[in-house]
Amino acid sequence: MSNIPFQPGVFQSNEDFAVAMDEHDSLKEYRDLFFIPKIDGADCVYLCGHSLGLQPRSAAAYIQQELEDWAQLGVEAHFRARNPWMPYHRLLREQTAELVGAKPEEVVVMNSLTVNLHLMMVSFYRPTASRHKILIERGAFPSDQYAVKSQIRFHGFDPAACLIELAPLPGETCLRDEQIESVIEQSGGQIALILLGAVNYATGQAFDLERITRAGHAQGCVVGFDLAHAAGNLALKLHAQGPDFAVWCSYKYLNGGPGCIAGCFVHERHASANNLPRFTGWWGHEESSRFQMGPDFRAMNGAEGWQLSNPPIVSLAALRASMDIFHRAGMERLHHKSESLTSYLEFLLLETRSSQFTIVTPSDNWRRGAQVSIRLPRNGRALCDRLTSEGILCDWREPDILRVAPVPLYNSYRDVFQFVRRFAAAAE
């Protein structure tokens, strides 16, 4: 095995190669920090981190500590818990900022993704008679579509007239940057808000956030991103990329657990934007006078000013367990392994030379994260079920997409190897 080349992108299709790559993986010990689900008593090959990330083994202890402090201190735990609950969400601030490439004041963890999307649109979708359109992707995640359409109606406009949906060019499966740019250039004057998923949930395509933001701002549009499939996946630099806002959930690549508290980014340029309308609650009120319980709202500076309620501590505790792991591993290192692992998956799929499927996800590393979407025109659903029964978990999206996520934190090269071997056998 010693003569195996380890240059990125130079792959071999035998199993020994996968084993050797795992041995040389500087992140290999991170897998043991997670519970790997079992099927029929054996570790499954878990390729669903884009849907629900795995549970860190440490999550229970983080949660247990808060349960103990609640038991022993009751309400006093707000101030006297080992990690006092009043400022508890701040324990996540630096690491969240680091994760998405933002300044600490630009991020906050709160609510859930769709709620945060609505809160952001309340402030940042401000349609006028001449500029009232929203630009999204065709086939955007349903919750985003519903949220956007309901906001349009809420302002008295008609989604049929207000929504511009970007579709791939005929014969293509993904959008081109220059295509997005030209739509923005042509229709920008009527577009109030550009809202794209930074990674498309179905195709796995990653967008050039900086380029889209620049094009949008040049036309006077507000630019926001849904990072549901990008947070904990791409090496984001939100502050520099410059969107006005971004929102994400924490239960996919971020491993915070089902329904975990979500994240929100508001660019520094809006930090003290008291001219923006917003829906308010007491937790967004200036901290020093929050408990004077006065009638008038004074927003905290930065993203925290959009908070509504005191946050669920148990959910924050679970998220901390995972964020501490991300902090140690480092997003750059994770992304580096991610590029290699995803390229390896693509390599093995192409090696099968099968005509039963096509790969939808772009081939360039900078246009994707830890996901490969495979189009199966025939019997894909049955194939996915069969893989599940054999202990290989990936997921199926109607009408014809199998989504496979090799997650650098806990997936191995052998996971990828085993997946492709079983997949290829099932497909033929």
Ligand X SMILES: *Cc1c(COP(=O)(O)O)cnc(C)c1O
Q: Which parts of 183-302 are beta strand (E)? A: 191-197, 222-226, 245-248, 263-266
Q: Which amino acid makes up residue 123?
A: S
Q: Which stretch binds ligand X (CB under 6 A): 12-20, 53-61, 109-117, 374-382?
A: 109-117
CA end-to-end span of the chain: 31
Q: ∠ CA(244), CA(178), CA(377), 5° rounding? A: 100
Residue 33 CB, nearest approach to ligand X (Å): 23
Token pair 């195709």 is found at 203
Q: Is 229 in the site for ligand X (CB under 6 A)?
A: yes
Residues 298-357 that bind ligand X (CB under 6 A): none
CB 394 within 8 A of CB 384: yes
Q: With respect to ligand X, which residue has the nearer C-beta, 196 or 384? A: 196
Determine the Cα–Cα distance for residues 140 and 408; give it in Å rounded to an integer. 26
Q: ∠ CA(319), CA(288), CA(277), 5° rounding? A: 75
Token pair 């998956």 is found at 345
Q: Binder to ligand X among 141, 157, 357, 413 (CB under 6 A)?
A: 141
Q: Binder to ligand X among 97, 148, 215, 228 (CB under 6 A)?
A: 228
Q: With respect to ligand X, which residue has the nearer C-beta, 197 or 242? A: 197
Give the number of C-alpha atoms closer than 13 A to the C-alpha of residue 122, restricted to the C-beta side.
Answer: 11
Q: Is 201 in the site for ligand X (CB under 6 A)?
A: yes
Q: Binder to ligand X among 27, 113, 163, 264 (CB under 6 A)?
A: 113
Residue 226 CB, nearest approach to ligand X (Å): 5
Q: Binder to ligand X among 127, 197, 242, 362 (CB under 6 A)?
A: 197
Residues 363-402 that bind ligand X (CB under 6 A): none
In angstroms, what CA-CA distances link 371 with 111, 220, 262, 410? 26, 33, 21, 14
Q: With respect to ligand X, which residue has the nearer C-beta, 114 or 123? A: 114
Q: With respect to ligand X, which residue has the nearer C-beta, 243 or 391? A: 243
Q: Is 151 in the site for ligand X (CB under 6 A)?
A: no
Q: With respect to ligand X, which residue has the nearer C-beta, 116 or 412? A: 116
- Residues in contact with ligand X, shown as a per-residue x/- string from 230 to 269 under the rule CB under 6 A: -------------------x--------------------
Please count the residues of this chain forming the interface with ligand X, following the rule CB under 6 A.
Answer: 12
The order of strands in the sheet holding 395-397 is: 358-359, 372-375, 401-404, 395-397
Determine the Cα–Cα distance for residues 83 and 118; give it in Å rounded to an integer. 30
Q: Which parts of 3-74 are beta strand (E)? A: 38-39, 42-43, 45-46
Q: Is 199 in the site for ligand X (CB under 6 A)?
A: no
Q: Is 112 in the site for ligand X (CB under 6 A)?
A: yes
Q: How would you label 193-226 residue by residue, b for 16+ Cβ within 10 Å and e otherwise? A: bbbbbbbbbbbbbbbbbeebbebbbebebbbbbb
Q: With respect to ligand X, which residue has the nearer C-beta, 27 or 140? A: 140
Residue 114 CB, nearest approach to ligand X (Å): 3
Q: Binder to ligand X among 144, 181, 244, 339 (CB under 6 A)?
A: 144
Residue 373: helix, strand or coil by DSSP? strand
Residue 423: helix, strand or coil by DSSP? helix
Q: Are strands 401-404 and 372-375 parallel, antiparallel or unpaired?
A: antiparallel
Q: Which stretch binds ligand X (CB under 6 A): 18-26, 184-192, 224-232, 291-299?
A: 224-232
DSSP class of residue 172 equals: -
Q: Which stretch binds ligand X (CB under 6 A): 108-116, 150-158, 382-390, 416-424?
A: 108-116
Residue 417 CB, nearest approach to ligand X (Å): 28
CB 256 within 8 A of CB 319: yes
Structure tokens at 173: 């499966």
Q: Binder to ligand X among 66, 106, 181, 226 (CB under 6 A)?
A: 226
Residue 262 CB, nearest approach to ligand X (Å): 6
Q: With respect to ligand X, which residue has the nearer C-beta, 106 or 144? A: 144
Residue 368 CB, nearest approach to ligand X (Å): 15
Q: Is 114 in the site for ligand X (CB under 6 A)?
A: yes
Binding site for ligand X (CB under 6 A): 112-114, 141, 143-144, 197, 201, 226, 228-229, 249
